Amino acid sequence: MVELVNGDDVVTKANADELVQLIYSSAPTLLDFVFLGRLDAQAFIRNALLEPDGQYSAKRHKLAMQDGRIIGSISLWHSELPSRFQDATLASLQKYLRPNVALHVIKVNPFLVKLFPAPQDNELCFGHLAVDPQYQGIGVASKLLAFAIRQAKAMGKDKVVLDVHSENEAALPFYQKWDFLKVQSSIFVLTYESYWRMQKLL
């Protein structure tokens, strides 16, 4: 049976790699570019998810688990996130990145901010939605997305938004099935890749 749990309740050094692989799989091409390769990207995520807060912290993830194994993940962002969230994210970057990687992230960040607009007050944004390939097709992603929609309604939001690579042939039909519509298309000018902002009205 698949159950949803808070990331910081179950993630330890012993099982961290299960969540690392999920987060990485949600945007491998982009993460490789931002962190100058898979090894640095995964090493950073592994360290950051064990921190008490921040964008990659386990605390900020809802996890799907089955038989004691992490098989799915989702992270939620909104405009009311406390300042400690941003501070913790920056602290993780400074703490765990090699100097050349940190410099590259600093240079790339303004382009990422433009590419992925922060959620408005009436929006809940989700990311890092991923399911272990062995457990795909049994409704895990739907269970995680339904959780995000419930949270949005509970917070009084009237939209759920996401950003997805325009050529993600697995994700796009899934989101469209859930009545997400493309509202914007943007080019990441550093790699010439296209990303869609999609939204669902509640």
pLDDT tens, 23-39? Answer: 999 999 999 999 999 99
Q: Are 58 and 46 in contact (CB under 8 A)?
A: no
Give burial (CB, 10 Å; 0-12/13-18/19+) of 13: exposed
pLDDT the model gives residue 82:
87
User: Above pLDDT 70, what percent of the chain?
Assistant: 100
**Rounded mean pLDDT of 120-149?**
97
**Rounded mean pLDDT of 76-90?**
92
Res 152 pLDDT > 90: yes
pLDDT the model gives residue 159:
98
**Rounded mean pLDDT of 55-59?**
96
Higher pLDDT, 128 or 82: 128
Res 177 pLDDT > 90: yes
**Rounded mean pLDDT of 72-77?**
98
Distance between CA atoms of 147 and 141, rounded to whole angstroms? 10
CA distances from residue 133 to 6, 26, 71, 76, 188 in whole angstroms, order as listed: 21, 12, 9, 22, 27
Res 107 pLDDT > 90: yes
pLDDT the model gives residue 8:
96
Taking the alpha carbons of 94, 99, 105, 108 in that order, is the dihedral positive or negative?
Answer: positive
User: Buried b vs exposed e over 39-58: b needs ≥16 C-beta within 10 Å?
Assistant: ebbbbbbbbbbbbebbbbbb
pTM of the predicted model over 0.75: yes
